[in-house]
């Protein structure tokens, strides 16, 4: 698997996992879990963008 594809897939996975944590934090009224979810979602989006850049650069 190409590095760009791997980053893209992992980014989407982390983004989804972060969204689940964020919702679970809201439901359980746990602000720490909600914050961790938001952070993981943002990190996933960043990793996905890195994968897109690598694809453009041909890596």
pLDDT surpassing 80 at residue 59: no
2-58 pLDDT tens trace? 888 899 999 999 999 999 999 999 999 999 999 999 999 999 999 999 999 998 988
For 29: left if phi > 0, alpha if psi spans -120 to 50, otherwise beta; the answer is left
The answer to whether the CB of 57 falls within 8 A of the CB of 31 is: no
Q: How many domains does the chain have?
A: 1
Residue labelled with tokens 């720490």: 32
- Quote the domain boundaries for residue 27: 3-57
Tell me the angle at which helices 3-27 and 31-57 cross, rounded to the nearest 10 degrees.
160
pTM of the entire predicted model: 0.83
Neighbours of 59 (CB within 10 A): 11
């Amino acid at each position: 698997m190409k590095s760009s594809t791997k980053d893209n897939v992992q980014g989407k996975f982390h983004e989804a996992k972060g969204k689940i944590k964020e919702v679970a934090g809201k439901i359980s009224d746990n602000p720490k879990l909600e914050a961790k979810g938001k952070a993981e979602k943002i990190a996933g989006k960043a990793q996905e963008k890195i994968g897109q850049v690598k694809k453009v650069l041909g890596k």
